[in-house]
Structure 1
Amino acid sequence: MSPPPRLLELSEHQPVARVRTQAGDEAWLVSRYAYVKQLLNDDRLGMSHREPERAARISNASLFSGPSPEYTFDTEVERHTAMRRMLSPFFSAKHILRLRPRVEQLAAELVAEMAGLTPPVDLHTDFSWPFPVLVICELLGVPYEDRERFRALSYTIAGLRDRDASMAALAELIVYMGDLARRKRAEPADDVMSELCRTQDDDTVAIRSAGLLFAAHETTTGRIDVGVAMLLGHQGQWDRLVAEPELIDDAVEEIVRAAPIVSIGGVVRYARADIDVGGERIKEGDAVLLSLVAANRDRTEFPGGERFDIGCKHAGAHLGFGHGGRYCLGAPLARVELRAALTELTTALPGLRLAVPPGELRIRTSQLSGGIEAVPVTW
C-alpha cells in the first residue's frame, strides 16, 4: 500500500510540476517536503478564487476539490481566521484530553462487539467506520441513529465521477444540518453545534457542521483501515505492537505519515498572488496540489521513509496534519481516536490477521477520501 511510483519520481526529479487533474483541469503538483511545508504556511495560497466558477478543479467531488463554498476571495482571510478562533476551543489538546476516556470507552465497546462475531469480519464495517462516526456525533451533537443517512450522503459527496450527484448530496446534508441547527437553537445541549448557534446564523452552522461531520469521520476511518492493514501486511509490525504497547504513539504517527489514504493528488489551494517555488512561477489564480503523501515519503527528510516501520524514529516532523496556519484543527482528536483504536484492537484481538492476501485489498479510487473498500480480518 504505497503511493504511485510516478508520484515519488516527481517528488525526486520534478517536485513542482504541471499536471492534469481528474477533472481534466491543469494544476501545479508540489511533492517535495521542503516546498510543501513552505507553501502550507504561505498566505499567498488560499481556498478561494477570484472567479470560482472558472477555477481549476481536482475532481468532481463537491467538497475539497475546488474553491471553498464558505469563502469569497475578499473575505477568506478574515472569515477563516474567525472560524479557527471559534472552533479551536472544541478541538484543543486540553479539551480533547477530557474527551479521551469517552473515546476509549466507545472504542472498547465496538471492539468487544466485533470480537463476539464469528470471523472473518470486515474491520471497516464493524469498527473503522462506526467508531469515528460515534465520536464526531457525540462531539457535534448529531443523532447517531441518523448515521445510515449521512453515511450514504458522505459516500456520494466523496464520489469523484458524478459532480451533480455529489453536489445534490452535499445540499441534502446541509439542509439536514440546518434543520438540526434550528432544533439546537431552540433546545441547546452540551455540544459543538449548540455552541456555534450562540454566535452564528443557521446557514453558517449548517455548512460548517456538514464539513466537520464529513471530514472528521471519513479521514479517520481511512487511517484506521489503511493503518491496520499496513500493520498486518508488513512483516512483524502488528506482533511488535502487541508485544510493545509503549509503541502505540509511534505507530499512530507512522500511520499518519505513511498511510496513503486519499485518492486525489493532494490538498488543493489557489494562488492569491504570483509565487516562485522550486524554479517555477505559480501564477495568481493557478490551482496548486500539495501532496502530503509524497512529502511524507521524501527521502531527503525521512531517510528510509519509503518503508513503514513503527520503530523508526524520524528526525523530521511529518505533514500528515498539515503545517502552520493550515494545521488541521482536528489533529488532537484524530490522534486520540487512532490511539484508542490501536490500543483496543491489539489488547482484545492480539491474534488479528488479514483474512485475504494484502494484494487483494481493494483501494477506493473512486472516492475523494480514498481508503479501502473492505478489510476482511480474522483471529
Structure 2
Amino acid sequence: MSVPVRLPYEQAHPMRPAPLLRELQARGPIHAIRTAVGAPGWQVTGYEEVRRLLDDDRLGRAHREPDKASRTGESALFGGPLGDFDTEQADHRRMRALLQPHFSPKRMRALRGRVEALTSDLLDEMAAAGPPADLHAALALPLPIAVICELLGVPYEERARFREWTQAAGDITDRSRSEQGLAELFGYGRHLVARKRAEGEADADVISRLAATDGVGDDEAAMMGMLLLFAGHETTVTAIGEGALWLLATPGQWQALVDAPSRIDAAVEEILRAPGLGGGGIPRYARTDLDIAGVRVRAGDLVLLDNGAANHDASVFTDPDRFDIGRPAVPHLSFGHGARYCIGAPLARLELRVVFAQLAARFPTLKPGCPIDELTFDPNVLTGGLTALPVIW
C-alpha cells in the first residue's frame, strides 16, 4: 500500500469533489488513511464494498480497548468507539426494536399533514417578507426542528437550548465542548422523561411512549430520545439546505422539478445521493481480522465506510458527480444498508418531499441570491451544512 493520506481532503469548491479522493477511488476500493486527528485507519470508497460491509457483523461501533482506538475527530458522540464490545450487537437489536415502531408507515402518514402545514406556514412567512431571503434561516433550519419536536414531544420553545447542545455535541474539533454539549443534552433528556412519566400520557409522543415501555429505564429513554433529537434534525437541516443549493445551482434542474412535479421522489433521492461527495465515512471498528478487497485489516482497526464516495462510484452511477433528478434509479447508501439502515429514513424522505414539492410550486422562479463561491459551510460540526443560503425570486 502507498503512504497513508490525511483527512480531510482538500476541496476547492463545495459542489465539486476533492481531486485526491477521486484519484484514490480510481486506484481501488480501500485506502490507508490518517484521520483529521492523525490516527491510522482504512477508508473504503467502492459501492459494492461499502454496501456489503455496512451489513457485516465483523465490523461494529464498539472497540475491545476503546482508549487505544483510532479516533476520527474530537466529537464525544461520534469521534471514537461507542457501546459495549461484548453486548454491542444485542444492544443494537434491542434499540432498533424499541425505536422502529415510532417510524412506521402508519406513523409517517399520520405526521404528513402536520409537516405540510408547518412547511406552508414557513413559506407564507418567507413570501410575506419578500426577496431576498435566507432559505437556511427561513426553512431549512426551523422545519426539521419543529417536526422533531412534535414527533418526540419536545417543547418547541426550548429549541434554542437544545440546538446549542446538539451543535456542541457534534463539534469535531473541541472534545471538551462536545462532551459538555452531550452531558447537557442527556441531562435535558432525563428532565423530559421525568416530566413525561409524571404526565402519564403514554401515547402522546415518542418520548412518552418510551417512558411508558416496560423495561426501559429513565437513562435509556433519555439516551434514545436525545439521540433521535440530534440525528432527527441536524442531518435534515443539512439535506434541505444542500438539496436546495444543488437544485438551484445546477443548470436546468430546478426548472425540471417545477415543470414536472411528479419527479419529486426522484429529486429527493438525488438530493440524498449527490451532495455527499465523500471524503469521510461511517466509522466502524474491525471486531476480527478480515480481508477487504485483498487488503488485510486487523482486529481493532478503524474502517471508514465512505458512503458518500460510494454514492459517486463511476462503476455504478453514470457521470456520478453530475446532479440529475432524471437519473435512473440505483439505490444510494446515504441511509446505510442492512441491519443498521437508518431508522429515521422515512421521516427524512417525508420532510424532503414536502419541502421541495411546496417550494417548487410556490417559488418557481427561485434562484441563488449570491455567487456560489461566496457560500460558507460549517467545517467544525459533524453534519457540516450551509451557514446561510441567500435566494431571490
Normalising by structure 1, report the TM-score. 0.96
Determine whether 1:104 maps to 2:116: yes
User: Counterpart of 2:317 in structure 1: which amino acid?
Assistant: F
Q: CA deviation at 1:260?
A: 1.9
Superposed, 1:125-274 pairs within 5 Å as: 125-189=137-201, 190-199=204-213, 200-260=216-276, 265-274=280-289
Q: CA deviation at 1:147?
A: 0.3
Superposed, 1:202-351 pairs within 5 Å as: 202-260=218-276, 265-314=280-329, 316-351=330-365
Instruction: Give the alignment partner of residue 78 of structure 2, picking from 64, 89, 105.
Output: 64
User: Counterpart of 1:170 in structure 2: which amino acid?
Assistant: L
Q: Deviations over 1:56-104 (max 9, x none)?
A: 1101112222112xx2001111110011011111112332122111111
User: Counterpart of 2:172 in structure 1: which amino acid?
Assistant: L
User: Counterpart of 1:207 in structure 2: which amino acid?
Assistant: M
The equivalent residue for 1:361 is 375
User: Counterpart of 2:17 in structure 1: which amino acid?
Assistant: P
8 Å contact 1:3–1:260 — kept in the other structure? no
Instruction: Give the whole-Å Cα distance in 1 for the aligned partners of 2:378 and 2:47.
Output: 25
User: Counterpart of 2:171 in structure 1: which amino acid?
Assistant: G
When residues 222 and 109 of structure 1 are mapped into structure 2, their CA distance, relative to the original with a 3 A threshold, is same
Instruction: Give the whole-Å Cα distance in 1 for the aligned partners of 2:287 and 2:68.
Output: 15
Moved more, 202-211 or 128-137: 202-211
- How many residues align? The count is 375
SS in 1 for 2:291: strand
User: Counterpart of 1:246 in structure 2: which amino acid?
Assistant: S
User: Counterpart of 1:214 in structure 2: which amino acid?
Assistant: F
SS in 2 for 1:116: helix
8 Å contact 2:17–2:277 — kept in the other structure? no
- 5+ long unaligned stretches in structure 2: 1-14
Instruction: Give the whole-Å Cα distance in 2 for the aligned partners of 1:49 and 1:26.
Output: 15
SS in 1 for 2:146: helix
The equivalent residue for 1:33 is 47
8 Å contact 1:181–1:197 — kept in the other structure? yes
Instruction: Give the whole-Å Cα distance in 2 for the aligned partners of 1:152 and 1:67.
Output: 24
User: Counterpart of 2:218 in structure 1: which amino acid?
Assistant: D
The equivalent residue for 1:86 is 98
8 Å contact 1:219–1:261 — kept in the other structure? no
Q: CA deviation at 1:28?
A: 0.7
8 Å contact 1:363–1:370 — kept in the other structure? yes
User: Counterpart of 1:5 in structure 2: which amino acid?
Assistant: P
User: Counterpart of 1:372 in structure 2: which amino acid?
Assistant: L
Normalising by structure 2, report the TM-score. 0.93
Instruction: Give the whole-Å Cα distance in 1 for the aligned partners of 2:60 and 2:109.
Output: 31
Instruction: Give the whole-Å Cα distance in 1 for the aligned partners of 2:64 and 2:51.
Output: 25
Instruction: Give the whole-Å Cα distance in 2 for the aligned partners of 1:132 and 1:275.
Output: 40
8 Å contact 2:277–2:309 — kept in the other structure? no
When residues 372 and 80 of structure 1 are mapped into structure 2, their CA distance, relative to the original with a 3 A threshold, is same
User: Counterpart of 1:83 in structure 2: which amino acid?
Assistant: M
Q: CA deviation at 1:261?
A: 7.9
Instruction: Give the whole-Å Cα distance in 2 for the aligned partners of 1:23 and 1:202.
Output: 35
8 Å contact 2:282–2:307 — kept in the other structure? yes
